Amino acid sequence: MWGSYEKAVDISIDKQFLPKTIIGTEKPIRFFGVVSRYTPREIYEGYQPIMDFLTKNTPFKFVLKLSDTYTGTAKQLGDGKIAVASLGSFVYVKYKEQYDLEVILKPLNQQGNGFYHSMFIALKNSPISSLSDLKNRSIVFPSRESLTGHWMPNYIFSNAGISLVDLKKFNYSSHHTTVADKVLSGEYDAGVVKEAVAEMYKNHGLKIFHIAPKRTTIPLVVSKHTDQKTRQSIMDAFLSIDVEKPETISLLEFWDKELSYGFEKADDSDYELTREIISQIDNNN
């Protein structure tokens, strides 16, 4: 699933992701949005099996609809262009009131908990082994619209006393996998990515040298435009997943790794930690 595909796919063209089976389908169509945490092809590969699952287990035909930004997906929800979305927690908290968003589910991790970590990565043979080693080094962050990209510069300063001006260079990249690729190629000394990406790239020449505190997994979000039947059907389908069943394990193998260990109901209060992080950063700036 992972790799660099930005030049291969134009994310602005939604029709290229429509499965051929949509033509002539008898089920009403519901669009499912995903923030641009990965490249379009990576999103399609990890989320199309999920669309197939929802289509099979609900009264609706689910189709991916992408945006080229995190906030773009939130706006699609607010405008009623999509029924549900896998948002970033930062974007959910930031735009909840503006777009009248509501979280309904959160995915579980491999241990069956609703938490994950941001992880700092470097080449396996890199001398970098702690946050303090980042001084005068280069680092690449994911999108500033992601919680990781928004939070980690402040986190480095709070935990190692290193500000952005103390770095040799820094930059932001649109996708978490692109961050990993840039570190792997030697373009940057270090990077910060989601846990699923860091774990994947451990087998491709990268190491994890620091793990940030846990936070709530990515929210599955609906809006005031999402009808009750669609909302309930999505919840029923995802909550019916039994990760202990062999047939389910083989099914989830092809899903995006962040959504392949089951789900639990979520509430807005689950994202208080994200609010505290955002508030702390805003107060420091």
Residue 135's CATH number? 3.40.190.10
Q: Which two structure tokens, joined as six digits, stand for 31?
A: 């669009």
Per-residue pLDDT, 176: 94
33 with 161, same domain: the answer is no
245: Cβ contacts below 8 Å, ≥ 6 apart: none
Tens of pLDDT along 139-177? 999 999 999 999 999 999 999 999 999 999 999 998 999
Q: What are phi and psi of 147, to 5 degrees?
A: -65, -40
Residue 196, domain extent? 118-213
Q: How confident is the model at residue 25 (pLDDT cuts 50, 70, 90)?
A: low
Choosing from 198, 213, 228, the residue where a domain stops is 213
User: For residues 164 and 186, what is the distance between their CA atoms, to the nearest angstrom?
Assistant: 19
Q: What is the pTM of this model?
A: 0.85
**Does residue 90 lie in a domain region?**
yes
User: For residues 228 and 70, what is the distance between their CA atoms, to the nearest angstrom?
Assistant: 25
Mean pLDDT value across residues 250-274: 94
Count of domains forming the chain? 2
Starting at the edge strand found earlier in the chain, the sheet holding 84-86 runs: 61-66, 29-34, 84-86, 220-223, 101-107, 263-265
* Long-range contacts, 44-48 (Cβ 8 Å, 24+): 44/17, 45/1, 46/1, 46/255, 46/256, 46/257, 46/259, 47/86, 47/255, 47/256, 48/17, 48/19
